[in-house]
Chain A
Amino acid sequence: MNFKRIIFYIFFGSILLFIQLSSIFNRIMSIRNVMPDLILVSIILLFQIADDYEVLIYSFICGFLLDVFSGNLAGLNALTFSVISALLFKFKSLLYMKTLPFYLLLTLLSLFIKLFIYYIFGYIFKEIFTLYSATLLSYGIHILYTLVIVPFLYIIITIPPVINLLSKKMYEK
């Protein structure tokens, strides 16, 4: 793996994690105390540009760091993001359209998969860990807010220097 790419992943991932977790941005950005899922959006967008294997590692590390500094069940976000990366890899042949509406649809599907995994593991660990069912309104805001964020991250990720750095053709050369 190219050194510049590693630096990019560390820098990009840590900035997104910081925005999502920090109390400073929570005060500025949150709507009814709900923040968008920036990491999930970044995984979906990066998957279309960067190497699959690198994105899998990126998603696991970001997910784990999110777990460390948020809720109680360490590994839940790491697992969720890894599963989403694996699903994107599995159905890669179907994901040929690289347009913004397509990314929005993909984000929506991924958010539902994420919530599904949350509930499954919340149920499995319910004796030692209580996962509270958030209200429909909170989830609704979370989903809509995440979808609103997609175009902004799309612009950042599709700027030529980033594409040049991450594109697989360049990497293969």
Chain B
Amino acid sequence: MNQYFVKNKFSITFILFIVISISSMFFTTSSFILTPKIIFGAIAYPFIKAYNFIFENIINLFSSVSELKRLKDENIQLKNEVNKLKDFQFKAESLENENRELKKLLEFHQSSEYKNIPAQIIMKDPSNLYSTIILNKGSINGIKKGNPVYTILNGEKLLVGKVIETNYFYCKVMTIFDSRCLISVKETFTNYSGIAKGDSPDSQLLEVDYFPNEAEIFYEDVFVTAGYGGVFPPGLIVGKAIDIQKQNFSIYQKIKLKPILDLSKISYVLIIINFDEVNNINMNLKD
């Protein structure tokens, strides 16, 4: 028996690996708590975190030398901007106080705020078949499946996607580029809404379906999340219209959006961890 194994160890191991691989594919969609994916993920995560730390520091060291001059100029520019902003801040504070007092007078309900957790993008799907990213925050930090993810770029809140899988130390996010990610969107001027979905891997654009034909949309009109369905909070920017096709014999028009979000340019995102709770509170308030 022992000799048989030694003689055929390659074939036996190969068959074993095939069985593990195929059963793992079935496990992927099952409801088992400890799937091979989770076990492997938990073992490999510390190594990935260590490599990420080392390489990021090395790359930062080289880039910081070349960026010194640029930072100097930027510093002067920013100082000027700070002075301007201080003036604005003073005006904004007085307006905020005035607004609060007026709200009190009108007895407006203050809607609850979302609780965000910042996370770093540590990995990206290399196959380009899916548009998924991996963040360094997991269920241990309170991340749950379905949590919306967004980022702030130039002062604007941009939708990134939603959490589709959580491990103890990391989570997987399906981005807006993924064709499985359906987003209820509305145009900011007309308030007409539709369903946007990714076009990945064919392109980095989004397609808007079920958008009424009577709505007048123009090039570069901004689409934001509508907040319907309780999947994403309202008001997060999704993209700008770059292709509008009115259909003669349909009640819907076809729109293509170019997302402002560029995953290659962002390293950090924000995960909303209490979206469900806030959503429920707001629904109750409306009722």
Residues on A facing B (Cβ under 8 Å): 14-15, 18, 20-28, 30, 33-35, 52-53, 56-57, 60, 63-76, 78-79, 82-83, 85-86, 89, 121, 125, 128-132, 134-135, 138, 142
CB distance from B35 to the nearest CB of A (A): 7
Q: Are A79 and B21 in contact (CB under 8 A)?
A: yes
Residue from the list A14, A26, A83 in contact with B51, Cβ < 8 A = A14
Q: Which residues of A contact B134 (CB under 8 A)?
A: 69
Q: Which residues of A contact B210 (CB under 8 A)?
A: none
Residue from the list B24, B48, B133 in contact with A18, Cβ < 8 A = B48
Q: Which residues of B contact A131 (CB under 8 A)?
A: 129
Choose, from B6-14, B94-102, B155-163, B252-260, the stretch at the interface: B6-14
CB distance from A15 to the nearest CB of B (A): 8
Closest to A37 in B: B126
Q: Which residues of B contact A135 (CB under 8 A)?
A: 201-202
Indicate the size class of the contact surface on chain B: 35 or more
Q: List residues 223-278 of chain B with CB under 8 A from any CB of chain A.
A: 264, 267
Given contacts A130-B180, A135-B202, contact A73 B28 (CB under 8 A): yes
Q: In whole angstroms, what is the CA distance A134 to B51 when docked?
A: 30
Q: Mark B161-179, 1 if CB is under 8 A from A, else 0.
A: 0000000000000000001
Q: Are B179 and A89 in contact (CB under 8 A)?
A: no
Q: Are A53 and B13 in contact (CB under 8 A)?
A: yes
Q: Which residues of A contact B125 (CB under 8 A)?
A: 70-71
Interface core residue of A53, A67, A68, A134 (most chain B CB under 10 Å): A68
Q: Which residues of A contact B21 (CB under 8 A)?
A: 60, 63-64, 75-76, 78-79, 82
